Homo-oligomer: A and B are copies of this chain.
Amino acid sequence: MPPTPPFVTPQQLSAAHQWRYAVKAFDPEAKLTDDQRHALAHTLQAAPSSYGLQSWHFVFVTDPEVKAELQPHSWNQPQITQCDTLIVLCRKTQIDETSTTEYMERISEVRGDSLESLDGFAGMINTNVMSQSATAKATHADHQVYLAMGFVLHAAAMLGVDSCPMEGITPAEYDRILNLTDQGYATVLALPVGIRSVDDPYLAKAKVRFPLDDVVQFV
């Protein structure tokens, strides 16, 4: 029998949130298992996106030489080379009615719906998304990538995988080193994942959050 909801208790959830922090030092000798790496890949594949368009791509970098090449374009942060896997989160650069068609074809393939029966949905996406300016579409795709980042960060914590989300990178250099531009992708964010070092000075520090009443109101 596959697991059924609830998949965790509020206590397990809260413990995972307390355990998670932005790791400053990974243990460079500690490796994730293939199961853990694949669970993260499948998490990103399963992440929600606007209309389900999935205008994104994810690169899992484990090659030490490639990580070393990326480090100077990441404010020289040590996590880039210490981590087990550097996940690079990208958006697609070509987002147009062809994207809609490819998505409809995939829906038809998975669900067996005829393409004709999807015309209304395709028209809605073309009107609401594809007719926008290239800049607006890139912004929209960036937003989805941030959402995917939040989704996979939470999943990693649930799995007991350490992480450190990073905006402080030079996307154009990532695009060049990973040859992303020719493939139609643009780097947005980086996410080193691995196992925390017992020597990370941030490990013992209390999590700092504003009080719940300052952040959440009930109406």
Please give the residue numbers on chain A whose beta carbons come within 8 Å of chain B beta carbons, in ascending order. Answer: 2-8, 10-20, 22, 35-36, 38-39, 41-48, 50, 52, 54, 56-63, 66, 103, 106-107, 110-111, 139, 142-144, 146-155, 157-160, 165, 167, 178, 205-210, 212, 215-219
SS class, residues of chain A in contact with chain B: helix
B60 touches A43 (CB 8 A): no
Residues of B within 8 A of A7 (CB): 8, 12-13, 15-16, 19, 157-160
Closest residue of chain B to A177 (Cβ to Cβ) is B219
Bound Cα distance from A110 to B209, whole angstroms:
8
Kindly report how many copies of this chain are found in the complex they form together.
2
B46 touches A111 (CB 8 A): no
Closest residue of chain B to A179 (Cβ to Cβ) is B219
CB distance from A213 to the nearest CB of B (A): 10
Residues of B within 8 A of A18 (CB): 2, 46
CB distance from A66 to the nearest CB of B (A): 6
Residues of B within 8 A of A4 (CB): 15, 19
